[in-house]
Amino acid sequence: MTRPARDPAELAALVEQRVSQGLDLVDSFLAVTGRGAHRSGRVLAQEHRREVARQQRELLRHRSRQASLRSQAVGGAVLAGVTGSIGVIDVLATAAGSDVPAPSLLWFGIAAVSALVSVRGRRRLRQLPTAPEMLTLVGAPPTMRRGAIGSSEVARFAAVRVQVMTMAPALDRLYPGAGSELRRADAEAAAPLTALCERLRVLDDLQRELPGTSAATSAASAAQTVRGRLSAGCATYDDLLAAAARLLAAPDLSRSTDEVLAPAVNALLAYAHGLQRASDL
């Protein structure tokens, strides 16, 4: 008994489904190994986790410093009050003719030191900078299958965000605060652009699940529109990176290398000249 011939459209859909599954398998392998177009997304996820950990460390360090200074201010004041009261009691007891020796000077000395610690703690607490701002960091965009509408823009978006996160520490070392401004700009701009990436992922899934339908056609048209908006956002990120690069090339506000090393070089030359003269004698 011969099998009925398959419809060419059904056969083409089956072949396309198998090819799509194979490409998905390749993309999954590349995403796990950190190769190909998915490498930027994986690196961005690592940079995101590193940046979140850095912010948490700074916040914990500030809270610990604040608690230590508050403990010095309050504890020093309490200890000064207690030891000062004991010293006054000893002085009164001595004036009343008590035979027990009273080390009132010792208590007053402890009270004075405790008061100094309290005053210093209060002053440093007032001078303590405000708590570091905790930015709402946006994670990596969703991965797109190879050949999907907008996949190249999503990969480009992840790549420029990686560059922003890696350039921020260098800017902080040169110009304190510049890196924080760069991170703040990224946190504000990345959220809507990541939302566009998620829309592209949803539209691509719709095209894959319902091929040949009017819904798939509308999804493809909408994906092209979203793709253009994401491309414009990536161009703005390029301008941001260009400005950061120009800032890295600006002159350093600190002393130049010649100013730092020239005295050491002159001292070594003078020392070598002195050794030469000593050997000639």
Task: Say what the pLDDT of residue 78 is.
Answer: 86
143 and 169, same domain (yes or no): yes
123 and 147 belong to one structural domain: no
pLDDT tens figures, 249-280: 776 655 556 665 666 667 667 767 666 766 66
Residue 262 lies in a domain: no
Parts of the chain with a pLDDT under 70: 1-41, 96-102, 251-265, 267-268, 271, 273-275, 277-281
Locus of tokens 């020392």: 271
Q: Which domain holds residue 73?
A: 26-134
**What per-residue confidence (pLDDT) applies to 199?**
92
pLDDT, tens digit, 9 for 90 and up, residues 205-237: 888 888 888 888 898 899 999 999 999 999 988
pLDDT for 33 equals 47
Cα–Cα distance, 87 to 85 (Å, whole number):
5
For 227, the 3-state DSSP assignment is: helix
CA distance 118 to 101: 29
| Residues, the chain | 281
Beta-carbon count within 10 A of 91 CB: 15
Task: Provide the H-helix boundaries in the chain.
Answer: 8-33, 39-95, 104-127, 151-174, 178-209, 214-248, 257-280
**What's the structural domain count of the chain?**
2
Give the model's pLDDT for residue 4: 53
Among 114, 134, 154, residue at a domain's last position: 134
Looking at the structure, do residues 176 and 216 belong to the same domain, yes or no? yes
Contact between 194 and 270 under an 8 Å Cβ cutoff? The reply is no
- Are 145 and 245 part of one and the same domain? yes
* Residue 271 counted as domain residue: no
Mean pLDDT for all residues in the chain: 76
Q: If you search the block for the tokens 């009343």, which residue do you land on? A: 96
Which residues, in sequence order, are CB contacts of 230 under 8 Å at separation 6+?
150, 153, 154, 157, 193, 196, 197, 200
